Amino acid sequence: MGTFLVVHPYEDLVAHLARTSSLRPGEADRVVADVLAYFSERTEDFVRRRHGELKTRGLTNDEIFPRVALELRHRRVAAPDLSLRQLRRIVYG
């Protein structure tokens, strides 16, 4: 059997970051992995996480839900438009 070379799917991006920043290749690889994980987050998980983060900063739900709705519109892969009620249901069931 032959051996297979495993190629990182974003090898060119990792190399670019290492070349154009102060990141070493291993650090650049971790940054790419973190960014991909961030943008792979399901809408429901994003809403819950952001609600919790903003709640710990002292914001009220009346401040949080419009902000989260706006943030959802600017995600790399846009989430569907959700009403404030739908956002509350994601968090509180």
- The per-residue pLDDT for range 54-72, each reduced to its tens digit, is 999 999 999 999 999 999 8
- Residue 74 is classified by DSSP as T
Q: The whole model's pTM is what?
A: 0.63
Torsion region of 83: left, alpha or beta (phi above 0 gives left; psi -120 to 50 gives alpha):
beta
29 shares its domain with 70: no
Same domain, 63 and 26: no
Domain range for 34 is 9-40
Tell me: do 47 and 80 sit in the same domain. yes
- pLDDT at residue 73, rounded to an integer: 87
Task: Report the C-alpha gap between 87 and 45 in whole angstroms.
Answer: 11
